[in-house]
Amino acid sequence: MAPFPLPLEQILGHWGSYVIYLVIGFAFGYVLEIAGFGNSTKLAAQFYFKEMTVLKVMFTAIIVAMVLVFGAAAVGLLDYNLIYVNPTYLWPGIVGGLLMGVGFIVGGFCPGTSLVSAATGKIDGIFFVLGVFFGIFLFGETVSLFEGFWNSSFMGRFTLMDWLGLPTGVIVVGIVLMALVMFFGAELAEKYIGGMDLKKAPRWRFGAAGGLLMVGVVVLLIGQPTTADRWARIEREQGTALENREVQIHPGELLDYIHNDSVRVIMLDVRAEVDYNLFHIHTAQHVADVHALIPSLHLEPENTLFVVMSNGETAATEAWKVLVAEAVPNAYILEGGINHWIEVYGEGAFPAVGNPGDDALAYNFDAALGARHPAAEPLPENFNVVYTPRVEFEFKRGPASGGCG
């Protein structure tokens, strides 16, 4: 599996990587131009069902990318968790889509194609780009007036698989079939409304469509890797780190990071709820199902430290394996669990339990304290704790934004 994006800066250096970006950008713009997407009349014609090239090109790009992404994920060449997916803000997204659609009809361009048109010296494209810049400025100056709506109906990394509750392969085949039906309808519209002669269209498009559908069926048959599959692929490397205790961090190191303003610490307490209610570290969140949290954890900023904990280390280790297998970066285990934390910071306040058993709470509590005890929120300066640092941050995330071609 290729767990991270290609490290261009490490391979080519800072400026060398920018050359690659420049070449990709130029190639993308060139392809749009030779396809006629710098011409506003060609683009606007799709809304009158006379010229459907835009729909066919864009949907072809979508389904080809979809099939290749999930095909590569199916055979272990790509980790889908590391692909950036725009988080869904349902109602702002709908309103924004309508506004962009109206702008597309009126102006004849979308943002990307307007840049292509402007780059080739077309007057309408230049004015459209100026309008885009003005709109960006206007939005930035007024967003505070509707910020509540702008951030409303947040659904996280929400996909069709999540919405419909269907396997990825079924969705892939379904989207390909839907696109092919749309292509057929688009060609009928071009024939009867636009007066096009479809006999001049290349016949190889039928073979390409059939081939793409076949690849989609293969993706369906292979299926997507489970968490267990992902762990099996990285077990040799990560298992060694686990055995060498490179991922178990001392309570002192965790406490120092909790009080480090440059680091966001998310503590995942995977114990039974009754133990969590008896005692837990301040701000630690009780987690019944680590798998359910994965999409939201991928949205956290790159300076986030994830620490899983149980009474000992058994349950925390299993949860850590899930995080690592699902490509959640900077994931660590609290060394010795809550029992060790209480040993270090409890100052003898709780009587110990004899032979508590594997991953069981090793202390007695007269009442359910939760985080209402000094040991749940100690101050580093009050304790002289010596430890070996283990945390090494990995700043390897996908892009932080999306865009429109």
Mean pLDDT, range 325-330, rounded to an integer: 93
10 falls in which pLDDT band (50, 70, 90)?
confident
14 falls in which pLDDT band (50, 70, 90)?
confident
Residue 243 CA to residue 323 CA, distance in Å, equals 17
Phi, psi (rounded to 5 degrees) for 242: -65, -45
- Segment 254-298, tens digit of pLDDT: 999 999 999 999 999 999 999 999 999 999 999 999 999 998 898
Residue 13 CA to residue 180 CA, distance in Å, equals 43
Residue 300 CA to residue 328 CA, distance in Å, equals 10
Residue 78 CA to residue 157 CA, distance in Å, equals 18
**What CA–CA distances, in Å, run from 285 to 52, 125, 263, 265?**
51, 51, 17, 11
398 falls in which pLDDT band (50, 70, 90)?
very low
**pLDDT at position 117:** 93
Domains and CATH numbers, the chain: 8-227 (no CATH), 229-382 (3.40.250.10)
Residue 165 CA to residue 186 CA, distance in Å, equals 30
